[in-house]
């Protein structure tokens, strides 16, 4: 599935590594996604809430009634920290693993693809969405 199809079809996005600091890319991207009409599910073990949303320590810690809605897992973590996030994305039944700009992990990407997920690497989800709008 191409990026335009992913961003058009799916509206529920877990943002893994979301920061509460407004100057961080993860925060700006999450704010953009909310404004664009997406539902976000913040994941950060250090936060209780962020951007007015409850925040969970991991994908698997999200209550099932919310976790089952997640379609895209948007990852703001170092490349070496991506594999366990991909494992959780597969386990919760996500449709897409999205690694933000500057983040690639070929082994994790291959594992996600082999489990039937679409994979986007080294792309900013908000920038890609802006391209759809123009």
Give the pLDDT confidence of 93-134 residue by residue, as tens digits.
999 999 999 999 999 999 999 999 999 999 999 999 999 877
Per-residue tokens: 121:
């690497």
Q: pLDDT (tens digit, 9 = 90+) per residue, 21-60?
A: 999 999 999 999 999 999 999 999 999 999 999 999 999 9
Residue 75: closest CA among 18, 131, 133: 18
Q: Strands (DSSP E) along the chain, which ranges?
A: 12-16, 39-43, 49-50, 53-54, 72-75, 96-99, 118-120
Contact between 50 and 22 under an 8 Å Cβ cutoff? The reply is no
Chain-centre distance for alpha carbon 51: 15
pLDDT at 12: 98
Banded pLDDT at 1 (limits 50, 70, 90): confident
Contact between 129 and 100 under an 8 Å Cβ cutoff? The reply is no
Domains assigned to the chain: 3-133 (3.40.50.720)
**CB count, 10 Å around CB of 36?**
15
């Amino acid at each position: 599935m191409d990026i335009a199809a992913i961003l058009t079809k799916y509206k529920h996005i877990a943002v893994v590594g979301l920061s509460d600091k407004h100057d961080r890319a993860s925060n700006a991207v999450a704010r953009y996604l909310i404004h664009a009409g997406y539902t976000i599910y913040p994941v950060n073990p250090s936060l209780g809430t962020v951007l007015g949303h409850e925040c969970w320590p991991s994908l698997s810690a999200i209550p099932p009634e919310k976790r089952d809605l997640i379609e895209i897992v948007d990852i703001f973590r170092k490349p070496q920290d991506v594999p366990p996030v991909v494992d959780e994305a597969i386990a919760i039944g996500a449709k897409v693993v999205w690694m933000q700009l500057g983040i690639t992990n070929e082994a994790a990407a291959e594992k996600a693809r082999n489990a039937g997920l679409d994979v986007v690497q080294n792309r900013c989800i908000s920038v890609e969405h802006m391209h759809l709008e123009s």
